[in-house]
Amino acid sequence: MTIQFLGAAGEVTGSKHLITTAKGKRILLDCGMFQGKGMETDADNRNLGFEPKDIDYVILTHAHIDHSGLIPYIYKLGFRGDVICTPATRDLCAIMLQDTAFIQAQDVRWYNKKMDRQHKPKIQPLYDINHVERCMHLFVTVGYDRKFRVCDEVMLTFTNSGHMLGSAVASLEIKEGGETKRIAYTGDLGRLHSHILCSPVPFPQCDYLICESTYGDRLHEDRLVTEEQLLGVVEDTCVYKKGKLIIPSFSVGRTQEIVYVLNQLYNDGRLPHIPVFVDSPLSVNATHIFRMYTDALNDEVQDTMRFDPDPFGFNTLKYITDIKESKALNNDPRPCIIISASGMLEAGRVKHHVANHISDPSCTILIVGYCTPESLGARIQDPNKKWISIFGFDRKIKAQVTKIEGFSGHGDYTEMIDYLTRSLDVTKLKHTFIVHGESAAQQTYKDHLYEAGFRDISIPQKGESVII
C-alpha cells in the first residue's frame, strides 16, 4: 500500500494523508483546509492532489478546520464515501463547517470587490452552506475504543487524544496478502493535564506511526502557572490600566478552556469584578456541545459540576451573538475582557476589536494559541513592529501584545514523547513519519524522538508518496 502526504507536510495546516491499499481502497486521513495566509491559501485548497470521486472513506481525527475544513469541498466535487469520526467530532463539524462557509462568503465578497477595482478575475468560495448541510449526511460516528470494520480489509479504532472534544488517534489495521499492517495517525495530541479535557489515553501498538510535531521544539508552562499568568494580565490591564483585555481565541476548545479558568477564579473570589464577554456566535454553539458531552471532560470539571452545574458560565460573563451588541462593545468605556474568534486573527469579530483597540495603550491583546507565521496573530507579536495593517489601514501599535502558551491544545515535545512511549513499544515500530509542524520544530522533534529510542524517522515533503 502507499501513503501520500498531501498537506500539513512541513507546515501545520491542511492535514491530508492518503492511504491506497493493495486492493485499491482509498482512505483519506483528515481532509483539512490550509489556513493562515488569507486568500493566498485558496489555490492550495483547490489543488487537492487526488480525485474526490475516487475516495472511499475519510477518517477524521477531530473537528478543527485545518483537519476537517475541505470535507464540503470534496463533497461538492463528487465525494460520496463515509466520513468516519467520533460523535462529538460530528456535532462540532456541523457548526464549524457552517461557520467556515460563512467566513468564506465574507472573505470572497471582500476579495472580489478588490479584484473588481483592479479589473482582475473574481473567484467563487470553495463551497457554500448547502454543501455543508448535504455533506453532513455522509458522517458515520464511532465511539472511543470500539473496533470498527471500515471494510473487509480495514479495521479502525479511535482513542482519545485529549486535544479537543471528540479528538482521536486513528489506529488502522489493514490486511494485505497474509499480513496485517498497523498504522497509527495521531491527528493532534493534547496536553498531559488540560484544564478541562481528559488526558490522552494510550493507543494500540502500531508498525507505522504518523505523528504531529507542532510543538516539537517547545516546552509549555504548567497548568497552575498558566492560570496565575492569566490573572496577572487581567489585573494589570483591567484593574490598574482600566483598559480592555482582548483575547483572540479559537471558538472551539480554547475559548471553553479560558472561560472555565475564569469561572474557577470567579468561584474562588479572585476574579476582579469586571464584565467578561464571549463575542462569537460559534463559541456559543460550541459551548452548548461541550455541555452535552460533559462526561468527556476531566475529573476536576466533573468535581466542579457537583456544586457549580455550569462551569462555562458565571454572573459577570455574557455570551454575545448579536452583531449590534458586538459593535456596541467598541463604545463601552468600562474595563472588560473580550474573548472572540479567530485565534490567529485572520477573520471574525476579534479582528474588529483588535483594529479598534490596538492604538490604545491601556489595552492588551493576549495571544493564547498557535499562530502560523504569516497570520496577523503572529505578525502582531513582532516586538520591532510599530505599525500594523488591519483591514487595509495602517494602525500604530500602542496596546500591549503579550502571549501565554500554556493554553495550547497541543502537548509540548516532552508531553508528546511521554504519551507515545506509554502507548508503544518503540523498538517494534518500523517507521515514524513526522507531520504537522514547521520545519525547525520538525527537525528538533526528530532528534528528541531519536533520543527516546525511535529509529527510522522521516519528515515527508508535501506530495511525497511512500510504499509500506
Q: Which is nearer to Zn ion, 64 or 241 (CB)?
A: 64
- Specify the residue, 64 or 195, whose C-beta has the smaller distance to Zn ion: 64
Q: What is the length of the chain?
A: 468
Total residues binding Zn ion (CB under 5 A): 2
User: Would you say 17 or 181 has its CB closer to Zn ion?
Assistant: 17
What's the closest the beta carbon of residue 15 comes to Zn ion, in angstroms? Answer: 8
Provide, rounded to whole angstroms, the least separation between the CB of residue 71 and Zn ion. 15
| Nearest-approach distance from CB 255 to Zn ion, in angstroms | 14
Query: And the C-alpha cell for 440?
Result: 525547525
Closest distance to Zn ion from the beta carbon of 411 (Å)? 12
Cβ proximity to Zn ion, 64 vs 357, nearer residue: 64
Closest approach of Zn ion to the CB of residue 193, in Å: 18
Measured between alpha carbons, how far is residue 422 from residues 144, 296, 381, 426, 434 in Å? 18, 21, 36, 10, 18
Quote the least distance from Cβ 197 to Zn ion, whole Å.
Answer: 12
Nearer to Zn ion, 251 or 326 (CB): 251
* Binding flags for Zn ion, 57-96, as an x/- string (CB under 5 A): -------x--------------------------------
Give the integer Cα–Cα distance in Å for 415 and 386.
36
Does residue 134 sit in helix, strand or coil?
helix
Q: Is 257 in the site for Zn ion (CB under 5 A)?
A: no
Residue bearing cell 474588529? 352
> In the complex, what is the shortest distance from the CB of residue 463 to Zn ion, in angstroms, rounded to a whole number?
22
**DSSP E strand stretches across 95-217:** 139-141, 148-151, 154-160, 168-176, 179-185, 208-211
- Closer residue to Zn ion in complex, CB, 52/187: 187
Cell reading at 394: 495602517
The answer to whether 156 and 171 have CB atoms below 8 angstroms apart is: yes
15 or 237, CB closer to Zn ion?
A: 15
Cα gap 40→293, rounded to integer Å: 37
> Please, are residues 64 and 12 in contact by the beta-carbon 8 Å criterion?
no
Q: Is the CB of 28 or the CB of 358 nearer to Zn ion?
A: 28
Residue ranges in 177-206 that form contacts with Zn ion under rule CB under 5 A: 188
Measuring CA to CA, which residue among 148, 181, 189 is closest to residue 59?
A: 148
Q: How far apart are CA 10 and CA 457, in angstroms?
A: 14
Site string for Zn ion, 290-319 (x = CB under 5 A): ------------------------------
Contact pattern for Zn ion over residues 9 through 48, marking x by CB under 5 A: ----------------------------------------
DSSP state of 460: P
468/5 Cα distance (integer angstroms): 13
CB of 188 to Zn ion, least distance (A): 4
Distance from C-alpha of 162 to C-alpha of 197, rounded to nearest angstrom: 6
Work out the number of other CB atoms within 10 angstroms of the CB of residue 273. Answer: 10
Q: Contact residues for Zn ion (CB under 5 A)? A: 64, 188
